[in-house]
């Protein structure tokens, strides 16, 4: 049985070899990205059994991503290589402070070949958590119907559903994002949200306001990501906070939220107490931003234990 499965697009990422506005960058390094794939990588590196459902172009980039995912120990049984749809790509702009912009080229995405009927129900039912995000929902109008079918299959077979709104306003409008994501909430067990995303969804960014809004949907487990201001979490009435974990150096902020999610799901599946789970998640998010790349900074469990002082690292 798999611990976590997720559904979503993946892209070849072109990381700039120098910082500053992209118009002045002359060379890029090929890497791999995609929110759902990042989550799967983060979970696998922590030791969870992870599966990924997707479609990639039957081209060199698609084969590269597939081999990369397999190399991370992710089950790719339900990842298809399809003809006539080039693998998506995107270029990153990274400024001196680690922030930047993303420029996507994902028209005619291979995931357009996916349909609700193409999902393998028996694959979904043999897992513990189905993780979904707002990114896949935003790529094409048909994708919410795919996720809703996956959610129904998951709930019919006793899986928990984890949702990261992960709202990308370059991909859809605020109105469409809110309408779609709110439709998932009655079936969501674990909400992993940023406070700004919660403001868009619920009209509040306070911990208490978010918890109250989620209560109306029956969501009992909530993690609230606040970046440099730390994090907070609720679980069945319990409420805890985590202080911000300073990064050694902010190099690239992409993937920090995915790392946080992986840490939270790991702690949840280990039946850890909420404070320990939240601390792990926040620590991983901090570790990710100190490394360039979408998923290069996602740590193995031993790396996090060293960071937390639970293990000693022997260098020589």
From CA 257, how far away is CA 196, in angstroms rounded?
13
Residue 92 φ then ψ, to 5°: -105, 145
Domain presence at residue 188: yes
Q: Which residues are catalytic?
A: 258
**Residue 185: inside a domain, yes or no?**
yes
Closest C-alpha among 35, 14, 13 to residue 259: 35
CATH label of the domain that carries residue 138 = 3.40.1190.20
Question: Is residue 15 domain-resident?
Answer: no
Q: Can you give the pLDDT at residue 193? A: 97
Are residues 119 and 153 in contact, defined by beta-carbon separation less than 8 angstroms? yes
pTM, two decimal places: 0.94
Say if 166 falls within a structural domain.
yes
Which segments of the chain have a pLDDT < 50? none
For the chain, the average pLDDT equals 93
- Residue 101: inside a domain, yes or no? no
Looking at the structure of the chain, the number of domains it has is 1
Q: Does residue 115 form part of some domain?
A: no
Residue 17 lies in a domain: no
Please report the pLDDT score of residue 133 as a whole number.
97
Identify the domain containing residue 284 by its residue range: 2-8+34-55+120-307
In a domain, 73, yes or no: no
Contact between 260 and 280 under an 8 Å Cβ cutoff? The reply is no
């Amino acid at each position: 049985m798999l611990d976590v499965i997720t559904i979503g697009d993946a892209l070849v990422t072109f990381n700039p070899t120098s910082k500053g506005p992209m118009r002045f960058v002359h060379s890029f390094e090929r890497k791999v990205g995609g929110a759902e794939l990042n989550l799967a990588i983060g979970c696998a590196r922590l030791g969870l059994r992870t599966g990924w459902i997707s479609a990639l172009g039957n081209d060199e980039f698609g084969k590269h991503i597939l081999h990369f995912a397999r190399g991370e120990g992710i089950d790719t049984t339900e990842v298809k290589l399809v003809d006539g749809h080039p693998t998506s790509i995107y270029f990153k702009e990274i400024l001196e402070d680690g922030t930047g912009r993303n420029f996507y080229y994902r028209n005619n995405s291979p995931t357009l070949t996916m349909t609700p009927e193409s999902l393998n129900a028996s694959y979904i039912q043999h897992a513990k958590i189905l993780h979904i995000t707002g990114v896949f929902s935003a790529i094409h109008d048909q994708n919410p119907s795919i996720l809703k079918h996956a959610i129904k299959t998951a709930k019919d077979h006793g899986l928990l559903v984890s949702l990261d709104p992960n709202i990308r306003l370059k991909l859809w409008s605020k109105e469409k994002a809110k309408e779609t994501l709110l439709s998932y909430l009655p079936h969501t067990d674990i909400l992993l949200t940023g406070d700004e995303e919660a403001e868009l969804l619920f009209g509040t960014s306070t911990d208490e306001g978010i918890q109250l809004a989620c209560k109306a949907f029956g969501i009992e487990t909530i993690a609230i990501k606040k970046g440099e201001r730390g994090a907070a979490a609720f679980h069945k009435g319990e409420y805890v906070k985590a202080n911000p974990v300073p990064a050694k150096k902010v190099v690239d902020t992409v993937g920090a939220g995915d790392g946080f999610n992986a840490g939270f799901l790991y702690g949840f599946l280990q039946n850890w107490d909420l404070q320990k789970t939240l601390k792990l998640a926040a620590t991983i998010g901090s570790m990710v931003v100190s490394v360039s790349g979408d998923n290069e900074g996602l740590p193995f469990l031993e790396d996090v234990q060293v960071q937390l002082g639970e293990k000693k690292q022997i260098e020589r």
